[in-house]
A and B are shown apart, each in its own frame.
Chain A
């Protein structure tokens, strides 16, 4: 009996190891210290050609009705794919939106997109700005017609998907694949986590303050979660943005917004869904009463947050515009 138990344990272990090897060998680009992604890569397995097509589309203003606004207009690679210098983002003909475009990274670990979670899967997300009158001002049908008239894209799509007609599905999958490669996992924090570096004393203190005060919502190593929270921000009477409640219709969800990642904060100012805070100091001041942080702790915390900046990600040429 004991022998049978031993064999069973060995067999189970072998199966688990084989499974993890299978997973790792299929997706070696996934950081080893990250949890299992939410995105089902089997439905859209990455390949370099599709990723490259997606990158071209991401930077091409052909996606907008006036051919002047691309995804990169609001999601700049040098700002961790966020939109800086504006409280809220703007689109075609300088139309002003109501929210600040968030940074794009580690998207494979998210299941809801936009500040209110209105988009339930990454493959569908691009349709929102494309069809929004204040963002790209186009519509899916018109865009597909436009792309199918472009000899450049007809050739690229044919090479990638073997189809002479550019379909909505292939278009979205290509964009998704590029966005899935935007993985930020090489900050100082990550190196410390992998035993390749050490925090300074101040950063260590800041880390402890973070664990005590922030980690409930900003869960390591992604520094966000998949939930929506009300963090004490009053409603802006100009935008009257109720956040998640707008999607669910549930009054208890009023003023709840998606918990953003704390990675790359130095690149993604201003902060919050409407960009109302221009600096981390303002953010921490907002939280100072609820989190009981002393002035020293706030400074230490900022030092720790800086260890989450990933310059390798921000300046990765593979993510930037290519000819």
Chain B
């Protein structure tokens, strides 16, 4: 089972003594109620469906107290479901916070002036070379429902210029638990995809923008599980 663990370490300093708290955030992509497995054959409406590639960017993270940003990590992280290594994000914290804000995708600043290093390296296959910009989400697979060559579906969702931007903010309160799960449930997204009859989407525009909104809606937060 492939899991992605994002660890946020908070260091809370008091005037008298030093104490250390930690919060573990686990990104779980799910389909039909279970953690997604690439290459596994599922069935949807009687038709087989397989996922072969799922990657997306978390463009930045911020820790907030109410509406105030207490700490911001502007480093982009690539959640790559084919990567067996856990994703670790460590953020030293000196203050308390009650909310976490994630940017799903990369914003215009990253697209125009971000360095091509680490998770933003084009070698990761998440950068459009023919028209500058990062691919915020790659979702690929095949299903007999797809009337395409090899029954494939290929969604490369990107674009940073308004009104077709594809990055969105996802904000959630922290709970009184050392672990939290950010779940990305693909079911509604797949339903909409099959209904639309469009199985290739690989350039910025209105359709990509609409798709990205559906992708954001797939995010939710629960108490963490082991």
Contact = CB atoms under 8 A, between A and B. Distances in A.
Contacts of A121: 112-113, 132
A119 B123 contact: no
B116 A128 contact: no
Contacts of A128: 129-130
A322 to B, nearest CB: 26
A276 interface: no
Interface in A111-126: 118-121, 123-124
Contacts, number: 54
B121 A120 contact: no
Interface in B27-60: none
Name A's interface SS.
helix
B48 to A, nearest CB: 30
A132 B123 contact: no
Interface string B115-136: 1110001110101011111000
A249 interface: yes
A168 B122 contact: yes
A120 B117 CA distance: 17
A299 interface: no
Interface string B126-168: 0101111100000000000000000000000000010010000
Given A128-B129, A140-B123, A169 B117 contact: yes
A62 B122 CA distance: 18
Interface in B182-205: 204-205
Contacts of A168: 116, 121-123
A249 B133 contact: no
A131 B125 CA distance: 11
A144 interface: yes
A40 B109 CA distance: 14
B111 interface: yes
A172 B114 CA distance: 13
A316 interface: no
B130 A120 contact: no
Given A120-B111, A130-B129, A144 B204 contact: no
Given A119-B132, A128-B129, A169-B117, A141 B123 contact: yes
A110 interface: no
B74 to A, nearest CB: 15
A233 interface: no
Interface of A: 40, 43, 118-121, 123-124, 127-128, 130-132, 140-141, 144, 167-169, 172, 247-249
